[in-house]
C-alpha cells in the first residue's frame, strides 16, 4: 500500500476527522484499500462507519463487489445495515444469508425496525422469527404489522415510557 493511501486510511479511521470527510472521499479511500489488498484496514474502516454509511457504500458498488463487501460487515451491524439499504439490494442480500444468521440479526432490532425488516424475509424465516419472540414482543410486532406500511400506525414506535 502506498504511503499516501495509508495516511488517507488512517485519516478515514480517525473519529475526529471522519465527520469532516465527504462520503465520496471515504468511498475512494475504501476502494483504494480494497485494490491494494489491505483487507484488515478495509474491514476496520468499513465497520467504523454508521449503518447508513455502509448502506450508501453498498448501494454505490456494482453487485459483484457488493457481495464481497457485505462479507466484511460485522454480523452485529448487518441487521441495521439491511434496514438502511434500498429494497432491491436488501432482497438480494437476504437471499444470500443463512436462516440462522437472519434470525440472529432480528434479535437486536426494535419492533418498529423489525416490522420493516421482517416483511422482506422469506415466509419460513418470518414464521421462525415470530416463533422465537416472547409474547410481548410478538404482540408489539403484530400490532405494527397490522397497519399499512406507509401509515402512522405502520411507522410508529411501540416503546412507551411508564
Residues 97-133: tens digit of each pLDDT:
999 999 998 888 887 788 888 888 999 999 999 998 8
- In this predicted model, which residue has the larger pLDDT, 1 or 135? 135
Q: Does residue 71 belong to any structural domain of this protein?
A: no
Do 17 and 46 contact (CB within 8 A), yes or no?
A: no
Q: Does residue 47 belong to any structural domain of this protein?
A: no
Do 44 and 13 contact (CB within 8 A), yes or no?
A: yes
Q: What is the domain extent for residue 105? A: 98-162
Q: Does residue 36 belong to any structural domain of this protein?
A: no
Domain count, the chain: 1
42 burial via Cβ count (<10 Å: 0-12, 13-18, 19+) = buried
C-alpha grid cell, residue 9: 486510511
The alpha-carbon radius of gyration of the chain (Å, integer) is 18
CB atoms near residue 106 (< 10 Å): 21
Maximal CA-CA distance, the chain: 56
What pTM, to 2 d.p., does this model score?
0.73
Tell me: pLDDT of 23 over 70: no
Q: Does residue 110 belong to any structural domain of this protein?
A: yes
Q: Does residue 44 belong to any structural domain of this protein?
A: no
Q: Does residue 2 belong to any structural domain of this protein?
A: no
Amino acid at each position: 500500500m502506498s504511503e499516501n493511501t495509508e495516511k488517507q486510511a488512517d485519516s478515514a479511521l480517525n473519529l475526529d476527522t471522519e465527520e469532516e470527510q465527504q462520503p465520496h472521499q471515504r468511498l475512494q479511500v475504501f476502494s483504494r484499500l480494497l485494490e491494494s489488498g489491505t483487507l484488515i484496514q478495509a474491514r476496520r474502516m468499513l465497520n467504523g462507519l454508521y449503518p447508513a454509511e455502509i448502506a450508501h457504500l453498498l448501494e454505490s458498488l456494482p453487485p459483484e463487489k457488493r457481495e464481497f463487501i457485505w462479507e466484511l460487515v460485522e454480523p452485529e451491524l448487518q441487521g441495521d445495515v439491511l434496514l438502511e439499504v434500498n429494497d432491491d439490494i436488501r432482497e438480494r442480500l437476504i437471499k444470500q444469508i443463512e436462516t440462522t444468521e437472519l434470525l440472529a440479526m432480528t434479535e437486536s432490532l426494535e419492533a418498529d425496525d423489525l416490522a420493516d425488516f421482517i416483511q422482506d424475509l422469506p415466509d419460513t424465516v418470518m414464521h421462525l422469527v415470530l416463533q422465537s419472540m416472547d409474547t410481548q414482543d410478538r404482540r408489539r410486532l403484530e400490532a405494527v404489522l397490522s397497519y399499512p406500511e406507509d401509515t402512522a400506525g405502520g411507522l410508529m414506535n411501540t416503546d412507551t415510557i411508564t
